[in-house]
Amino acid sequence: MKSRYKIVLFDLDGTLSNSAEGVKIGITAALTQMNKPLPDLSDYSKYVGPPLLTTFQGLCGLSEDEAHEAMELYRVDYEKRGKYENYLYDGLVELIDALKTGGSLTAVATSKYELFARWVIDYIGLGGRFDAICGATLDGRRKEKADIIRYACDTLGVEISEDGVCLVGDTMFDAAGAKKAGCGFVGVTYGFGKREQILNAGGERLAGSVEELYKYLIEG
């Protein structure tokens, strides 16, 4: 088998790890400590995927300064509790190993704070399987998915192209980021995003399971 892409980038939350409960716990803790009202957090697609700073300002209605304060409170609580609410989706170890054997470089490209992303990758059993783990900065200087895709490709020393680089992700933010950055994209519908939203953001190829990813990522 041969990989179709020189680089395959994976989103983290909802693509590699089932992590929504930990994100929900962290948001709830931060807003509670700030005596801010809690928004409806029943729809994971609204806050698992976009940059957390954007979530605190948009979904939660905080000012920029308040959002930065909430980020710090979230970070502290996530260290204590939220990071343990991460569970690897079945079949990913085999897929990543097949991509590596087939000639791909693999990397994580996530809007999660990079240090948290590194910890989560080790915790769910994928440590050592990626050529790079690239995430957001806590201060928001690097948070948008397109910027993180560029950062990942710069880290690996590869120029972005639609036929050379592919992002695998589960939300409309992933689809839009891939389009903006100029790389290929495969959406997964087993995560937290919604099929219609992914399609509307330009994600034309969808996989309903890890097994279905093979036909988009590996030849033969």
Cβ atoms of 83 and 119 closer than 8 Å: yes
CA R_g for the chain? 17
Q: Which residue is it, tokens 């204590």?
A: 80
The amino acid occupying position 92 is L
CA 146/CA 105 separation, integer angstroms: 19
CA 108/CA 157 separation, integer angstroms: 15
Active site residue 131: no
CB-CB neighbours of 37 under 10 Å: 8
Active-site pick, 11, 77, 147, 174:
11
CB-CB neighbours of 24 under 10 Å: 17
Q: Which are the catalytic amino acids? A: 11
